[in-house]
């Protein structure tokens, strides 16, 4: 297995996120990735590499994200500081949004004020943006692209070991700790590398809303997500079972929401349904946005998987026999995220 490490991940290190009326310490911290690296040093299930510096990254980003959004992200920090030099000491967070209700707000007359523009692109106030966020997110996307290229070149499994995560980021939106959708970038790169059909199977605790939105009208990329029921779980406004895709994409999105408290038995049963749907689609490659926030000890999630369960998860993913790109998504039980992530990888490679 090739493992592409984001060597710039620590340049993104948010301080606090808004949670129920107060600022709380960020859950999505650099130590998460270090724990995975430490565990990989103990159990070397693959070769740790960094992506080549000359990958066609900008082209790959534009295949998934709008040019306007990419411009916004690349300039965001400078514009935040330009508002007020004191902002250099503060992370950027939005606090006002154009709520989508009839005749309420216009989206065709974008404001110039940067704090307002942030509300055009960010769907929550839990995703702080700082000086190094763009650099870190961009290098993470390079890891996803490198992993896709490795899979195209015949690698059975390639892992993008990166943060910030990606699966909540859409064509022109950020949120849920995500800026660039690494899984979608990998899936699109696999398509552009000549594969006719690619499946994305998202196993993060939270619905992969960004990925769903990106591919919603397409029949060449199947999107499947197993997640906490959005009636009670973040991101709340997408992820229901009746979202099946639109237009040409109708029937090519599958949501499998599960109630808070779901344990490994029911979760694995649902994974079997997901694997059957993937297999029925007959893809040439699989992308797995891998969240470890299904763990029983996760501080912000509600499933009860245990560390040893992740070996079974990896084995089940491998059972499809497909070239597979795995991207690192959530997982906030920081001390255990290394063991849990490497258990999935070990389960996969020893299957």
Residue positions annotated with a catalytic role: 168
Q: Which residue is nearest to ligand Q9C (CB)?
A: 330
Q: Out of 6, 125, 149, 262, point to the residue binding ligand Q9C (CB under 6 A).
A: 125
Q: Does 239 bind Zn ion (CB under 5 A)?
A: no
Rounded Cα distance, 35 and 292, in Å: 13
Q: Does 119 bind ligand Q9C (CB under 6 A)?
A: no
| Complex with Zn ion: residue 43 or 240, whichever CB lies closer | 240
Q: Does 72 bind Zn ion (CB under 5 A)?
A: no
Q: Write out the binding residues for ligand Q9C, residues 239-278 only, by CB under 6 A.
A: none
Rounded Cα distance, 121 and 52, in Å: 30
- Shortest Å distance, C-beta 107 to ligand Q9C: 22
| Complex with ligand Q9C: residue 18 or 48, whichever CB lies closer | 18
| Look-up of token digits 């808004």 | 18
Among the listed ranges 130-138, 142-150, 196-204, 255-263, the one in contact with Zn ion (CB under 5 A) is 196-204
Beta-carbon-side half-sphere exposure of residue 121 (alpha carbons within 13 Å): 28
Contact string 312-341 vs Zn ion (x = CB under 5 A): ------------------x-----------
Rounded Cα distance, 27 and 14, in Å: 9
Q: Out of 216, 234, 281, 348, point to the residue binding ligand Q9C (CB under 6 A).
A: 234
Strand 47-49 to 157-161 pairing: unpaired
Q: Write out the binding residues for ligand Q9C, residues 77-116 only, by CB under 6 A.
A: none
What are the DSSP E strand ranges found in 229-349?
A: 253-258, 285-290, 324-328
Rounded Cα distance, 258 and 302, in Å: 10
Q: Out of 119, 126, 283, 302, point to the residue binding ligand Q9C (CB under 6 A).
A: 126
3-state class of 129 per DSSP? strand
| Complex with Zn ion: residue 249 or 330, whichever CB lies closer | 330
Q: Which has the closest alpha carbon to 9: 133, 151, 194?
A: 133
Q: Does 204 bind ligand Q9C (CB under 6 A)?
A: yes
Q: Which has the closest alpha carbon to 244: 219, 269, 280?
A: 219
Rounded Cα distance, 214 and 212, in Å: 6
Q: Does 229 bind Zn ion (CB under 5 A)?
A: no
Q: Out of 1, 14, 17, 187, point to the residue binding ligand Q9C (CB under 6 A).
A: 17
Rounded Cα distance, 307 and 319, in Å: 20
- What are the two backbone dihedrals, phi and then psi, of residue 317, each rounded to the nearest 5 degrees? -65, -40
Q: Out of 4, 114, 134, 205, point to the residue binding Zn ion (CB under 5 A).
A: 205
3-state class of 338 per DSSP? helix
Structural tokens at position 83:
């508002």
- What are the two backbone dihedrals, phi and then psi, of residue 159, each rounded to the nearest 5 degrees? -120, 125
| Burial class for 310, CB neighbours closer than 10 Å (0-12, 13-18, 19+) | buried
Q: Does 124 bind ligand Q9C (CB under 6 A)?
A: yes
DSSP state, 302? -
Among the listed ranges 51-59, 98-106, 109-117, 118-126, the one in contact with ligand Q9C (CB under 6 A) is 118-126
Q: Out of 69, 177, 267, 310, point to the residue binding ligand Q9C (CB under 6 A).
A: 177
Count residues near ligand Q9C (CB under 6 A).
Answer: 19
Q: What residue 105 binds from Zn ion, ligand Q9C, none (CB within 5 to 8 A, per partner kind)? A: none
Residues that bind Zn ion (CB under 5 A): 204-206, 291, 293, 330
User: Given the rule CB under 6 A, which residues bind ligand Q9C?
Assistant: 17-19, 124-126, 165, 168, 176-178, 204, 206, 234, 291, 293, 300, 329-330
């Amino acid at each position: 297995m090739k493992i592409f490490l984001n060597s710039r991940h620590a340049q993104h290190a948010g301080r606090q996120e808004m949670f129920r009326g107060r600022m709380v310490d960020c859950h999505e911290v650099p130590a998460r990735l270090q724990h995975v690296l430490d565990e990989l040093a103990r159990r070397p299930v693959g070769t740790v590499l960094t992506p080549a510096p000359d990958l066609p990254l900008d082209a790959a980003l534009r295949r998934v994200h709008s040019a306007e959004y990419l411009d916004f992200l690349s300039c965001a920090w400078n514009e935040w500081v330009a508002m007020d030099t004191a902002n250099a000491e503060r992370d950027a967070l939005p606090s006002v949004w154009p709520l989508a209700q009839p005749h309420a707000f216009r989206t065709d007359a974008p404001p110039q004020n940067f704090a307002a523009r942030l509300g055009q692109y960010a769907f929550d106030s839990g995703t702080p943006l700082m000086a190094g966020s763009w650099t870190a997110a961009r290098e993470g996307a390079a890891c996803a692209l490198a992993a896709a290229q490795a899979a195209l070149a015949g690698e059975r499994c390639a892992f993008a070991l990166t943060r910030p995560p990606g699966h909540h980021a859409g064509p022109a939106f950020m949120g849920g700790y995500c800026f660039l959708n690494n899984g979608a970038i990998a899936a699109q790169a696999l398509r552009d590398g000549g594969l006719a059909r690619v499946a994305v199977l998202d196993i993060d605790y939270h619905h992969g809303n960004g990925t769903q939105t990106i591919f919603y009208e397409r029949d060449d990329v199947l999107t499947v997500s197993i997640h906490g029921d959005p009636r009670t779980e973040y991101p709340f406004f997408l992820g229901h079972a009746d979202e099946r895709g639109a237009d040409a994409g109708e029937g090519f999105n599958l949501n499998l929401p599960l109630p808070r408290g779901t344990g490994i038995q029911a979760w694995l049963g649902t994974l079997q349904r997901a694997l059957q749907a993937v297999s029925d689609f007959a893809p040439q490659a699989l992308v797995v946005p891998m969240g470890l926030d299904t763990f029983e000890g996760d501080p912000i999630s509600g499933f009860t998987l245990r560390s040893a369960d992740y070996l079974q998860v990896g084995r089940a993913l491998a059972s499809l026999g497909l070239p597979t790109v795995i991207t690192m998504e959530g997982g906030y039980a920081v001390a255990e995220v290394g063991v849990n992530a490497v258990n999935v990888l070990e389960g996969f490679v020893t299957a």
